Amino acid sequence: MKSRNVRRAEGLGTASLADLLKQAGQEEFISFAGDMPADDCLPRERIMAAQIAEPAREAEDVGSSVPGSSHGQLSILERLCAFMAVRGIAADPSNTLLTTGMQQTVQLIARSLLEPGDTVLVENPTQPAVLRAFLARGLQVVPVPGDREGLLIPEAERLMQQHRPKLIYVMPSLGDPDSRLWSEDRRVALLSLSRRMGVTIWEDNRYGELLFPHDSDSAPASLYELNAGRERDGVLYTGSFSALLGPSFPAGWIISSRGTAAQLAAAQQSLEHKDSGESTAYRTFRTLERVLDECDLVEQVRIVRMSYFEKMQRTKALLRGHNLNGVSWKEPKGGMFLWVELPEGLDAEALLRSAAAKQVTFETGASFYAKDPQNNHVRLTYSNMPEEQLKSGIDRFAEAVREFLARSSP
């Protein structure tokens, strides 16, 4: 019999109507779900050249004694660490581990640092795939409330004292789903609290590079950077290439202390051997290495930030043009999403069913909560929308909201 946590994990998936309807062949279907980057800002020519050239390089391999250095990883690690240095992150190949994607990142952290029954704290709302992975691992997940500045530190302290967690999972820079950007004061306060309570922080920065141009120069330092001088113990810093280079490059990374990096690398070798993942890792990293040979990551960040800023502004303008009573949002400072609040009492799951009939979908808010979900929220992903689809999708969404409100009116 499946455990309560596993059953709950399986029921916490985000809205999947997009996949179901696409599989049914409905080509006019428009999805605001997922977190795909925009095709128009990807280095497509370099990606295609790398994919074509890769078969000729499969007989080659690169190795060294640092964790995670096979399959061309050492070259990637060196480029990544140079990129991190520009961001103020002190990383080197000895304390940085490449993963095949965020799924492996979660698996490694959950299996290496946590045991079934352990308690982890999470933001509320938070990233649903990580939440599902925690529950499937048999962890006790305790949500911590927050506001636009970040976690509410007194509540975090109370919950740490009550539950004695081993880990707290946070996204301080453009978190999912609301793209909030924590203040530096909240970051410093969480670091101080976690040190005092002996709780490891997992800082997920997968969307952190997507700050809009006018906010990027004033971004607060990462928790990992603020933790400098302590041999990096106590903070795991993770990220992903997919937000910048697209779904063909899901590879991620974990930056930590050297001791933790070695522990994670040992778990990765065991996991890849068990799951026969060597060939997948080989292709993932060698093709990525080829792309990075030609792609300037700093320039790619600039291109993506500008593209997403323009699409966010367009999405807001389209929504405002429909004058939907009771529909609101907090303006994000970056990222791929708009976290939209619907009128009180309007259930997003019911709205999704109405919207699907108009061939449009989105992520419903309840799936982002470990507890006490806000059912009147939806997440709209604008990052990968061409102009024509964006306008048509917002038109359909607005029509569904108006019809739903009309039916709900007394």
Which positions ≥6 away from 108 have C-beta within 8 Å?
97, 99, 254, 264, 267, 268, 271
Q: For residues 33 and 94, state if they share a domain.
A: no
Please indicate whether residue 2 or residue 196 has the higher confidence score (pLDDT): 196
pLDDT at 207: 95
Per-residue pLDDT tens digits for 72-89 = 688 899 999 999 998 888
pLDDT at 74: 87
- Answer yes or no: is pLDDT of 62 > 50: no
Helices 258-275 and 278-294: crossing angle in degrees, nearest 10, is: 120
Q: By the 8 A CB rule, do 141 and 135 touch? A: yes
**What is the mean predicted confidence (pLDDT) over 290-296?**
85
Per-residue pLDDT tens digits for 384-398 = 999 999 999 999 999
Q: For residues 242 and 354, state if they share a domain.
A: no
pLDDT at 279: 59
pLDDT at 247: 84
Q: For residues 347 and 242, state if they share a domain.
A: no
Q: For residues 226 and 78, state if they share a domain.
A: yes
Provide the b/e sequence for 346-355 (b: ≥16 CB within 10 Å): bbbeebbeeb
Highest mean predicted confidence (pLDDT) among 68-77, 273-282, 363-372: 363-372
Task: Calculate what percentage of the chain has a pLDDT beyond 90.
Answer: 63
Q: What is the CATH number of the domain that holds 50?
A: 3.40.640.10
**What is the mean predicted confidence (pLDDT) over 119-131?**
96
Segments forming the whole domain that contains residue 108: 44-296
- Answer yes or no: is pLDDT of 380 > 70: yes
- Answer yes or no: is pLDDT of 356 > 90: yes
Task: Give the residue from 253, 280, 296 where a domain finishes.
Answer: 296
DSSP for 262-277 reads HHHHHHHHHHHHHHT-
- Answer yes or no: is pLDDT of 61 > 80: no
**What is the mean predicted confidence (pLDDT) over 352-356?**
92
Query: Comparing 1-5, 41-45, 76-80, 273-277, which segment has the lowest mean pLDDT?
Result: 1-5
Q: For residues 33 and 78, state if they share a domain.
A: no
pTM over 0.75: yes
pLDDT at 47: 64
Q: What is the mean pLDDT of the chain?
A: 85
Question: Could you tell me the pLDDT band of residue 15, with boundaries at 50, 70 and 90?
Answer: very low
Task: Give the residue from 250, 266, 296 where a domain finishes.
Answer: 296
Q: For residues 232 and 310, state if they share a domain.
A: no
Please indicate whether residue 159 or residue 229 has the higher confidence score (pLDDT): 159
Phi, psi of 238 (to 5 degrees): -125, 155
Task: Give the residue from 296, 317, 344 where a domain finishes.
Answer: 296
Which positions ≥6 away from 397 have C-beta within 8 Å?
32, 355, 360, 362, 380
Judge residue 322's burial from the number of C-beta atoms within 10 Å of its C-beta, 0-12 exposed, 13-18 middle, 19 or more buried.
Answer: middle
